[in-house]
Structure 1
Amino acid sequence: MLKRLPGFFFALCAVAFLTLYTKTRNLPQPPIYRTPTNPRSSVLELLSTNFSELTSQISDSAIERSNGSCAEVNNIVFVKTHKTGSTTLASIIERFGYLRNLSFVLNPHSHILTSQLFHRKMAIKSPPPLDFKDGDAVTFNILTSHARYSRKEISQVIRPGAKYITIIRDPVANLESSFGYFQLAEKLGLTIYRRPFNMFLRRLDEFSQQTFFRRPYIRNGQMYDLGLNAKQQTNISYVLLKIEEFSKEFNLVLIQEYYDESLILLKNLLCWDFDDILYIPKGVRSKRLRYNYDKSFDQNIRQWSLADSILYDYFNKTLWRKIHALGDQFYRDLEIFRRKQKEVFRTCVDVGVIDTSDRREEKFVLVANASHFCQLLRLEDTHYWKILGQRQMIAALRRMNFTLNFK
């Protein structure tokens, strides 16, 4: 558990808050509406309108569930992997935590916590928990930001009884997605070729020896996020041992190809409502960064990223064993959820309108005068990082009896 002197702790929070606020106060706000809103409205102002009403409804719902067969889970570790649909899942969990005043481990300077293995000392820089009191061990409810997995270190800063989850994807699709989203064709000088991804696949050994940003994600990138370095990834005995450990340490490994099915299992695990797992997809890659390639490379990719392939095959089978064990009720729940998802798109999304301000992504746009819940669904994890961080920092400064006057 983390402990430190209150004076140092709060002084650090104050500095972090001022850094974050200075950095983010002039950033453009998310394009939530198709029609423009007041340009001076902040994300916090936008979300504060119906917050009390929403949290009241949530509290009533949670009480009903706790009187049943399970209690709503509020302590969660989500190990965020790259190019697996993890940004959408992070925003689902962050929305849940935001509406329940839960506390997150955050980097005050970036929505990415770290590109290194997580260490408990990284939480020292986080805005403190909302319910922190002098002398308390510093522990949080939720971790969703990018950080490579270390169970021993993460467990020191997350409250007891947390559920651990992650999400993985077929290694072939994961590599193509990484190649496109990280714009490796440009970085590696492959744009001169008619089929850049094909050329990349022919020269995998060559590129794996080079040094460039995101290189760990061209081979066994998901195992890398789960804590294994390059040498460990090629030791298959060690890989199998780690997968056995993961099967005990993770309460659920979601599968990107079966996103909705995975979310139903998540709902059951965390004792959440259907509304808690509704989503508007995030990080949808631009069509210009999607690559056709010779499918005869598929087996080569699976052999190239063998650790990821073994990981995926194991937990894909595990997912379906869980589903089959639930029987017909699972499919009834899945049908209800998909109806609700269709309603989200009918009432929230301006179909046919796409925001392409980020050249890597195609973002959904909300209808004019979208509901507060639609606005929450649309927010990305970068927006939640900002509002959650500000909330925790403001709470810390108030405990120090600071008077804040924002203009």
Structure 2
Amino acid sequence: MTIMIVCKFCIIFRMIGVQKKKGVPKWVAVLAILALVSVATVLQTYSSLRIFRSISSPHLYHERLIRRQTNDTRNITSAARNAIVTPGFIRKVLEINSREQEIPSEKNIFTHASEKSTTKYSISFDEPTSTHKKIPKQKVTHIGFLKVHKAGSTTMQNIFFRFGLKHNLTFVLPERGHYFMTTKSAMPVTPGHHRDILACHSKYSRGLFGSVLPEDTVNIGIIREPFDRMISAAYYYRDVWRSPMLIDVPRLNFIHNLVNRPDLYERKPFTKTKNAMGQDFGFAPTVTINDTDIIKDHLEMLTKDFKLVLLMEKFDESLILMKRTLNWDLSDIIYFTSNSHAHQPVILNPTELDKFKSTCFLDYAVFEKFNKTFHEKLSAEGLHFMEEVEHFKSVLELVKDYCDIQGARRERKPLNIVESDWNEPFKITQNDCYYMQMKELPFVDFLKRRHREANILNDLEINKY
């Protein structure tokens, strides 16, 4: 470029030289040439810097790419706005893009498998993280789940029921009702077969769980902050189950009445609103607040027996922790919230709170013990744990959107969740939505029919020989 400019200046110089005869001084021509050469040098240097900057700063390319993708996106749902997309995931999208000769679009990442679907989801580019995929381990399929009242346990039960159906497992089911209380009350299994999962309501004891489950069973429990659990239980069992004891409590200052007058409304050692967690975790009704050694020993026994106790207040974190503990897949822990019941917020004064803690001393003993161990396990998982939790929440939103919409159409193609650092690709179907939203009692009845049919088929198989 410089040579071309100089050549042009030479031509100009010659023209100026011709004009010299007409009185143009030679020094004016020389100054003009020098000025033009200086301007040309500055322009060329500036152009080179621009090229160098665009090459040495690849992040500028990503910024422009993201802006271009963002401008093309119009219907972005909150479901995937914070989705974590890992480098391997981005490479996969770019490979698809190179084959299709088009700019990567959100539709290539998360989308309903429906030709008529117009919903798009955005992604965010994160810094590279170490791969979280590990060599596949065998999934834990022998599970004893302690279903604690009003602590997210119905949602957990639904997860275990669907996992068992998916893997053709056998459940511990009571012959009647939905409470498993004694070994004899369990539906029988044919000789040569065993039960895999206990997820019905029960009270924990080593003997009871051990009598119906294999020796390598992993016990899982769940807890909730005692006062919040009590409020939820009080409104639920009063308004839904119409508990006579709770109906008798004056509605004005309902919770305060329960807290301030345990001598009038909470006379039994265990009720739905008094030490219910303590009862579910197997404490004897004769234990008093002064039996500190008995309480301590029982808690130590529970710590040995339970591989993991989840925390309702950190439900999604609990599920990711359980997924890792049981070697499950992300698809195994997808859920819909079940059996929730709205209620008015209640605040206790310090005197009332002290009184409530004295009344529900077993609930607080259980909560304080396992709340501490839960957070210790959480801290041991490392920095990338929360990335997986956020990814899980994004997938849950996609599933919720899909299942909310799918009821409006008779037939709908599956929702495809593509591969990520946290999961293998999997599909959510209409059947998945149906079972996720199935109520507890119908689900238990369905499993009982399945259990009986399996026993009949097993008996026929045995009689053939």
TM-score with structure 1 setting the length: 0.69
Q: Matches of 1:172 and 1:201 in 2, distance apart?
A: 10
Q: Equivalent residues in 2 for 1:96-107 (5 A)? A: 96-107=163-174
Match of 2:436 among 370, 373, 377: 377
Q: 1:196 to 1:331 in 2, by over 3 A?
A: same
Q: Which residue of 1 aligns with 2:346?
A: 293
Amino acid at match of 2:348: K
Q: Equivalent residues in 2 for 1:132-143 (5 A)? A: 132-133=190-191, 136=192, 139-143=194-198
Match of 1:202 among 250, 260, 265: 260
Q: 1:67 to 1:326 in 2, by over 3 A?
A: closer
Q: Matches of 1:66 and 1:270 in 2, distance apart?
A: 15
Q: 1:233 to 1:90 in 2, by over 3 A?
A: farther
Superposition deviation, residue 143 in structure 1: 0.5
Query: Which consecutive unaligned segments of at least 5 residues does structure 2 have?
Result: 1-131, 413-429
Match of 1:386 among 424, 445, 463: 445
Q: Which residue of 2 aligns with 1:20?
A: none
Question: Is residue 242 of structure 1 aligned with residue 298 of structure 2?
Answer: yes
Query: Which consecutive unaligned segments of at least 5 residues does structure 1 have?
Result: 1-64, 351-364, 403-407
Match of 1:273 among 306, 321, 329: 329
8 A Cα contact 2:250 2:257, kept in partner: no
Superposition deviation, residue 71 in structure 1: 1.2
Match of 2:281 among 216, 226, 243: 226
Q: Equivalent residues in 2 for 1:358-377 (5 A)? A: 366-369=407-410, 371-377=430-436
Q: Which residue of 1 aligns with 2:454?
A: 395
Q: 1:66 to 1:150 in 2, by over 3 A?
A: farther
Range 94-103 or range 373-382, more displaced: 373-382
Q: 1:266 to 1:329 in 2, by over 3 A?
A: same
Superposition deviation, residue 398 in structure 1: 3.0
Q: Matches of 2:347 and 2:244 in 1, distance apart?
A: 20
* Cα-to-partner distance string for 1:310-340 (whole Å, 9 max, x where unaligned): 2111211111111111111211210111111
8 A Cα contact 1:224 1:230, kept in partner: yes
What secondary structure, in the 3-state scheme, does the structure 1 residue paired with 2:175 have? coil
Q: Equivalent residues in 2 for 1:38-49 (5 A)? A: none
8 A Cα contact 1:85 1:256, kept in partner: yes
Question: Is residue 162 of structure 1 aligned with residue 217 of structure 2?
Answer: yes
TM-score with structure 2 setting the length: 0.61
Match of 1:284 among 340, 346, 352: 340
Question: Is residue 121 of structure 1 aligned with residue 179 of structure 2?
Answer: no
8 A Cα contact 1:366 1:378, kept in partner: no
* Cα-to-partner distance string for 1:52-107 (whole Å, 9 max, x where unaligned): xxxxxxxxxxxxx9992521111100011111110000000000001111001111
Question: Is residue 173 of structure 1 aligned with residue 236 of structure 2?
Answer: no
The RMSD of aligned alpha carbons is 2.5
8 A Cα contact 1:171 1:301, kept in partner: no
More relative contact order in 1 or in 2 (CA 8 Å, sep 6+)?
Answer: 1
Superposition deviation, residue 225 in structure 1: 0.8
* Cα-to-partner distance string for 1:175-198 (whole Å, 9 max, x where unaligned): 111111110786445565422222
Amino acid at match of 2:442: H
Q: 1:342 to 1:237 in 2, by over 3 A?
A: same
8 A Cα contact 1:185 1:197, kept in partner: no
Range 99-108 or range 227-236, more displaced: 227-236
Q: 1:193 to 1:110 in 2, by over 3 A?
A: closer
Q: Matches of 1:321 and 1:66 in 2, distance apart?
A: 23
Q: Which residue of 2 aligns with 1:93?
A: 160
8 A Cα contact 1:165 1:254, kept in partner: yes
Q: Matches of 1:239 and 1:368 in 2, distance apart?
A: 54
Q: Which residue of 1 aligns with 2:367?
A: 312
Q: Matches of 1:233 and 1:72 in 2, distance apart?
A: 41
Q: 1:382 to 1:299 in 2, by over 3 A?
A: same
Amino acid at match of 1:318: T
Provide the aligned length of Structure 1 versus Structure 2. Answer: 306
Superposition deviation, residue 121 in structure 1: 2.7
Q: Which residue of 2 aligns with 1:334?
A: 389
Match of 1:73 among 140, 143, 152: 140
Q: 1:209 to 1:192 in 2, by over 3 A?
A: closer
Bigger Rg over Cα: 2
8 A Cα contact 1:106 1:389, kept in partner: yes
Q: Matches of 1:203 and 1:148 in 2, distance apart?
A: 27
8 A Cα contact 1:88 1:380, kept in partner: no
Q: Matches of 2:323 and 2:268 in 1, distance apart?
A: 42
Q: Which residue of 1 aligns with 2:208?
A: 153
Amino acid at match of 1:198: H
Identity among equivalent pairs (%): 26
